[in-house]
Amino acid sequence: MPVDAIYFDGQVARDRPVSVNLDSQGLTFSGDGLPPRAWRMAGLFAVDPPVKGHTLRLAHDSQPGARLVVHDEDFMAELLAIAPHLKGGFNPKRAMKFSLWIGLSLAAFAGVMYFTLNYAPQKIAVLLPEEWRERAGEQMEKALAQGAKFCTTPAGDAALSAMLASLAEGDPDMPPIKVRVYDIGLMNAFTLPGGHIVLTRGLINETSGQDEVAGVLAHEIGHAAHRHPEAQLVRIMGVEILLSVATGTSGGGNTGSLASLAAVLRSSRDAERQADTYAVDMMVAAKIDPTGLKRFFEKVLKEEGKPVNTTLSRLGSVFSTHPGTAERIGLIKPAPTSIPLKPAISDSQWTDLRKICG
Ligand SMILES: [Zn+2]
């Protein structure tokens, strides 16, 4: 039983009344001045998901742009019984084409990502918005501290600021740094995104002089200046981070996890070497004895090999043995004798700093 429908050929803006016949093979329709046409079931699809009581708009792969508009409930029911694939406007062939297209796009995207993440994390890290770096750094610092007490006393804070100021004399382009000391017994130091540097009470108490702490601080500033933590974050969390930065959404939303923390703190040999070089250059330029860092590494060397079990020690950082501590020690040369050296902070300030955790 033929039903009335409207046909648009997709070529001219003109609708034609047609009469449509349905059988198991497909549709045939013809109208005034329109020779009979056949749309076989195979290429037939619904433009929108069919809804009972609404107009059904059909199209066919053989005639891109053409539409057949039917408003007949019985016809729709009969058609959907023969061709259930029209429900939801889904067509396997079209879906295949679509997913192929998506697949190719994803492959291209993945290719770009692969190169980006392998060869340019540092470059991307430099481009990360300040606000994002700050947020990631704050979150990670919280995760790292694990509820440990944040150490602060007026005199201790002043001593720490004085140490930073002394070091800054060695690099006029030193990035903005936020150093915090936490009441953690383990001797360690960490650099997080956004110039967040964490020193432990253990580090301050177990070093034997201000220049050792200054050396460690200079090394950590080196990581910050080179954006190593950010680059590492990009390398590990790559796609997610890039997308959130690109879309300006919840970037760094997941950076507080211990997994991403560990990843960010795992520096490569090259990164450690860069940070060491930066530290020594900075100290020499600031007229601070660079062998302070060397003495610290000698202390680390003694500690290495001892069993470590805490989460914090597993996170690495200055304790990391790559490149080998002995090798790193060998690379630190004393400042030329022509340079008059001064301590990073005065002895009384050093006493104040050692008491920062109370
Ligand atoms: Zn390091």
Q: Is the pLDDT of residue 163 over 80?
A: yes
Domain-located, residue 312: yes
241 and 178 fall within a common domain: yes
- Do 160 and 84 lie in a common domain? no
Q: Which strand (E) or helix (H) includes residue 236?
A: helix 228-247
- Asked whether the bond before 323 is cis by omega within 30 degrees of 0, the reply is yes
> Which one is predicted more confidently, 199 or 260?
199
- 58: in domain: yes
Residue showing tokens 């130091």: 189
Instruction: Indicate if the pLDDT at residue 161 is higher than 90.
Output: yes
Distance 133 CA to ligand 1 centre (A): 19
Q: How far is the CA of 332 from the centre of ligand 1 (A)?
A: 14
* Percentage of the chain lying above the pLDDT 70 cut: 83
Supply the mean pLDDT for the chain: 83
Distance in angstroms (rounded) separating the CA atoms of residues 274 and 170: 16
| 124 vs 205, more confident | 205
Ligand 1 centroid–CA 221 distance in Å is 9
| Cβ(122)–Cβ(232) below 8 Å | no
Tokens (6 digits) for 281: 């250059």
Which residue range is the domain that position 294 belongs to?
128-354
| Residue 107 included in any domain | no
Task: Read off the pLDDT band of 48 (50, 70, 90).
Answer: confident
The type of residue at 179 is V
C-alpha separations of 271 from 225, 242, 283 in Å: 11, 22, 18
Res. 276: pLDDT tops 90: yes
pLDDT-derived band at 257, boundaries 50, 70, 90: low
- Positive or negative, the Cα torsion across 191, 229, 237, 250? positive
Q: How far is the CA of 296 from the centre of ligand 1 (A)?
A: 12
Same structural domain for residues 24 and 165?
no
Question: Number of folded domains in the chain?
Answer: 2
Q: What is the pLDDT of residue 324?
A: 73
How many residues are given for the chain? 358
In whole angstroms, what separates CA 254 from the centre of its chain?
A: 9
CB 29 within 8 A of CB 3: no
Task: Report CA(323)–ligand 1 centroid distance (Å).
Answer: 10
Burial of 245 (0-12, 13-18, 19+ CB in 10 A): middle
| Domain shared by 188 and 336, yes or no | yes
Q: Looking at residues 127-148, what average pLDDT do you find? A: 87
Give the pLDDT confidence of 108-120 residue by residue, as tens digits.
777 766 666 666 7
Q: How far apart are CA 147 and CA 289, in angstroms?
A: 35
203 and 324 in a single domain? The answer is yes
- Residue 104 is assigned to a structural domain of this protein: no
